[in-house]
Amino acid sequence: MIGRLNHVAIAVPDIEAAAAIYRDGFGATVSAPRGLPEHGVTVVFVDLPNTRVELMQPLGEASPIAKFLERNPGGGLHHLCYEVEDILAARDRLAAAGARVLGSGEPRIGAHGKPVLFLHPKDFAGTLVELEEA
Ligand SMILES: CC[C@@H](C(=O)O)C(=O)SCCNC(=O)CCNC(=O)[C@H](O)C(C)(C)COP(=O)(O)OP(=O)(O)OC[C@H]1O[C@@H](n2cnc3c(N)ncnc32)[C@H](O)[C@@H]1OP(=O)(O)O
Ligand SMILES: [Co+2]
């Protein structure tokens, strides 16, 4: 069921500073910042040969990453995003096995224009998991 690693996400307090680390320090291709109010984050994507890094800064009053940054003020690894062929089939299989699907449980459109869902970190070895339909 599980497919490619789509991205590794890092929550940061200052997205321009984090983007500069990858652009100027590592020489990576880095996108312009993009605000996604429906997800409560501003994102920058770093393109790597085999995957992407998603840098995220809180956006708005109720950002889902605000509490994480309170606990980790310098930033930190936030989630892994795996591709799946059929997101509803993947959700139903994981939920039937006892995993908690976050939010309404219905997929929303993510940063790449594809349906995404989040799974509770306590059910996945302490790692917040995002599923994205391939
Ligand atoms: C850009 C769009 C999209 C894309 O297409 O790529 C995105 O990636 S959007 C990314 C941001 N959106 C989300 O993260 C949505 C899903 N997240 C949530 O619903 C919440 O953040 C959460 C996972 C339920 C956590 O909620 P929060 O209020 O911050 O904390 P809790 O107190 O409820 O946490 C409970 C428990 O879990 C631990 N925790 C929290 N976040 C993480 C994490 N990222 N990784 C690992 N563990 C995490 C937290 O420490 C608590 O543990 P205990 O203290 O032991 O209870
Ligand atoms: Co993500």
- At 98 the pLDDT is 98
Residue position matching structure tokens 């890094």: 53
pLDDT tens sequence across 22-50: 999 999 999 999 999 999 999 999 999 99
Domains of the chain: 2-133 (3.10.180.10)
Ligand 1 pocket residue status of 39, Cβ below 6 Å: yes
- 106 CA to middle of ligand 2, Å? 16
pLDDT tens sequence across 88-128: 999 999 999 999 999 999 999 999 999 999 999 999 999 99
Answer yes or no: are the C-beta atoms of 14 and 74 closer than 8 Å.
no
- At 83 the pLDDT is 98
- 43 CA to middle of ligand 1, Å? 16
Distance separating alpha carbons of residues 7 and 50, to the nearest angstrom:
10
ipTM of the complex: 0.98
Nearest CA to ligand 1 atom 50: 68
Element (H, E) at 91: helix 87-96
The residue count of the chain comes to: 134
* Cβ neighbours of 111 (radius 10 Å): 22
- At 19 the pLDDT is 98
Q: Stretch 51-79: mean pLDDT, rounded?
A: 97
Closest atom, ligand 1, to C-alpha of 36: 1
Q: Stretch 5-25: mean pLDDT, rounded?
A: 98
Distance separating alpha carbons of residues 115 and 39, to the nearest angstrom:
13
- At 30 the pLDDT is 98
- At 32 the pLDDT is 98
- 97 CA to middle of ligand 2, Å? 23
**Entry pTM:** 0.97
Q: Is 130 a catalytic residue?
A: yes
